[in-house]
Amino acid sequence: MAPDSARADRRPPSASDAARRSGIDSHSPTLLLWLAFAAVHLFLLGFALFGYGLPMGDVTLVYSPWAEQALGGGPIIGIDEPWVYPILALVPILIPAFFGFVFYDPSWLGMIVLLNACAFATLVGHDPERHGRRAAWWWLLFLALLGPIAVSRIDSVTVPVVIVALLWLGTRPRVAWVLLTCATWVKVWPAAVIAALMVALTKRWQVLLTALVTSAVIVTVPLILGAGWNLFSFVGKQGARGLQVEAPISAWWLWSAVFGQPGSRVYYDEVLLTWQVVGRGAVVAEMIMTWSMAVAVVAVLWAGAFAMRRGVGSVALLPPLVLALVACLIAFNKVGSPQFVAWLAAPVIFGLVTSGRRFRTPAILVAVIAALTQLVYPYLYGYLLSLFPPMVAALSVRNLLYFVVAGWAVAQIIALIRAAPQPLQAVPTR
């Protein structure tokens, strides 16, 4: 035997050799992630279908009748009559109906699991050895903490689409812009991401053109079918809402009702199918919150634009900018539906993938928000409506954390501006 061969035979076993002998390969972390994905979604589906508090209420009592009405020859929401959602939301509402209305709820959940699986596969495959897998683990934790509301609302359709779009910004930008536009025509909140792109990308006019062309394609069929102004009725429907119980601004009237303040109470709106608060000054607050949200969003966009002028790079600016905008849409919203929490998953995942540990703070805060949300809804929602003080306190803490998340994101934008190189001063000449 040659000396080199002998030395080769006596070399210490490498990690790859040990992995092969133990039956472990490089795919094990991915397999473990997918097993965890399956376990978390089995938990969510089980509680969604059989959990206490009717977590599938909107799917069973609202989406299914809408689909049955449209497919049964009745008026089609968003086309023949005004609707609370943008028109493309009709597509995911109709899809489960093709498997039969008896199976509408399971079919809805199957559709959501499939969408989440597509987003999860994109996330796991995105920089898999570093931040992608860590973000995937965080998303599974977030879903488990948020509970069945994460899979039982129309928002559940948009979140995985936005996650994929954000992850594809660097490799498939035009596809990403189209996905974001489609998601906006399902539920309006992804428009905040498009607005962030308009500020932070140099190709902002291409983003706008893509959004306009995609929107034109989406509205063509409804207009041909005679939708008319019903196509945009969701704008007025949202504006007509009162102060929803879970909205941050509603804390004042909730606590006023807890302490017996005359006129402050919780009531059910039969038209909008939501629990709302009423009391002295509530009507004025409704108008103030609409303008407050607009001012907050404009201020964040201005800060982003100023950061770009100071030379802050898009890669550094975009994650906190998206998070700040989405958080502001929730914090300053007079509608505080529990599923809104799911929106935050997309910017947090985007931040974890692009910024790593720098996004650890909002990841922790949003996970706590998710846990408090599941505590309030759906299991113990009755205690909130009956003004049980500990439940009102839990909701108040949850809502306060929205502002903390928004503040953290804005602080990051300000820090980027301060760290940006100062513009060169012209040397005065005589």
Instruction: For the sheet with 265-269, list strands across it.
Output: 243-244, 274-278, 265-269
pLDDT of residue 187 exceeding 70: yes
Confidence of residue 15 (pLDDT cuts 50, 70, 90): very low
Confidence of residue 12 (pLDDT cuts 50, 70, 90): very low
Mean pLDDT, to the nearest integer, of 174-198? 97
d(CA 83, CA 222): 13
Burial class for 36, CB neighbours closer than 10 Å (0-12, 13-18, 19+): middle
Give percent above pLDDT 70 in the chain: 90
Looking at per-residue pLDDT, the higher value among 130 and 3 belongs to: 130
Could you read off the pLDDT of 303-359 as tens digits, one per residue?
999 999 999 999 999 999 999 999 999 999 998 899 999 999 999 999 999 988 899
Confidence of residue 366 (pLDDT cuts 50, 70, 90): very high
d(CA 77, CA 83): 6
d(CA 226, CA 15): 66
Cross-strand partners of 269: 274
- Strand, helix or coil at 108? helix
What is the rounded end-to-end Cα distance, in angstroms, of the chain? 85
Q: Which residues contact 334 (CB under 8 A, 6 or more apart)?
A: 241, 242, 243, 244, 247, 249, 250, 285, 286, 289, 290
Burial class for 284, CB neighbours closer than 10 Å (0-12, 13-18, 19+): exposed
pLDDT at 321: 98
Mean pLDDT, to the nearest integer, of 178-193? 97
pLDDT of residue 297 exceeding 50: yes
d(CA 103, CA 100): 6
pLDDT at 429: 40
Could you read off the pLDDT of 374-419 as tens digits, one per residue?
999 998 999 999 999 999 999 999 999 999 999 999 999 999 999 8
pLDDT of residue 131 exceeding 90: no
Confidence of residue 421 (pLDDT cuts 50, 70, 90): confident
pLDDT at 29: 79
For residue 240, the tally of other CB atoms under 10 A from its CB is 12
What value does the mean pLDDT of the chain take?
89
The two three-digit tokens of residue 314, written as one number: 């898009």
Mean pLDDT, to the nearest integer, of 99-123? 97
Instruction: Judge whether 316 and 285 are in contact, CB under 8 Å.
Output: no
b/e code 336-370 from CB counts within 10 Å (16+ = b) = bbbbbbbbbbbbbbbbbbbbeeebeebbebbbebb
The helix, strand and coil proportions of the chain, stated in percent and rounded to the nearest 5, come to: 75, 5, 25
Looking at per-residue pLDDT, the higher value among 411 and 428 belongs to: 411
Q: Is the peptide bond before 378 cis (omega within 30 degrees of 0)?
A: yes
pLDDT at 52: 86
Task: Read off the pTM.
Answer: 0.90
The two three-digit tokens of residue 413, written as one number: 């934008």
At residue 202, φ and ψ (nearest 5 deg) are -75, -20
pLDDT of residue 162 exceeding 90: yes
d(CA 115, CA 113): 5
Looking at per-residue pLDDT, the higher value among 17 and 93 belongs to: 93
pLDDT at 345: 98
pLDDT of residue 424 exceeding 60: no
Residue with tokens 């947090």: 348
pLDDT at 26: 47
Could you read off the pLDDT of 197-239 as tens digits, one per residue?
999 999 999 999 999 999 999 999 999 999 899 999 988 776 6
Q: Which residues contact 230 (CB under 8 A, 6 or more apart)?
A: 78, 79, 80, 81, 82, 83
pLDDT of residue 271 exceeding 60: yes
pLDDT of residue 95 exceeding 90: yes
- Strand, helix or coil at 278? strand
d(CA 295, CA 20): 59
d(CA 327, CA 402): 6
User: What pairing do the DSSP bridges indicate for beta strands 243-244 and 265-269?
Assistant: unpaired
Q: Which residues contact 229 (CB under 8 A, 6 or more apart)?
A: none
